[in-house]
Amino acid sequence: MPLYEYRAIEDGTLISLLRPMAEADAPVEDPDSKGRTFERIHSVFSVDAASIKTAPSSPAGGCCGGGGCGCHPN
């Protein structure tokens, strides 16, 4: 289930909720019962490009062919 972030229009309070995709834009109940209205916001995150590791390209059989994907025990 995806994690979505919401901001209270009244005071900017941020909350994160695990919700089905079909409910992503549905109204959100105020978890503190203060009557606030929450709107979904787009999550922003940063990734250090140097820390990203890519898997080796797969042969036609769909496997890495020898250990790069973790499906082969050492």
Domain range summary for the chain, segments of one domain joined by + = 3-44
pLDDT of residue 43: 76
Nearest to 38 by CA among 10, 2, 1: 10
54-67 pLDDT tens trace: 555 555 555 555 55
8-63 pLDDT tens trace: 999 999 999 999 999 999 999 898 999 999 999 987 766 666 665 655 555 555 55
pLDDT of residue 45: 67
pLDDT of residue 54: 58
CA distance 37 to 29: 8
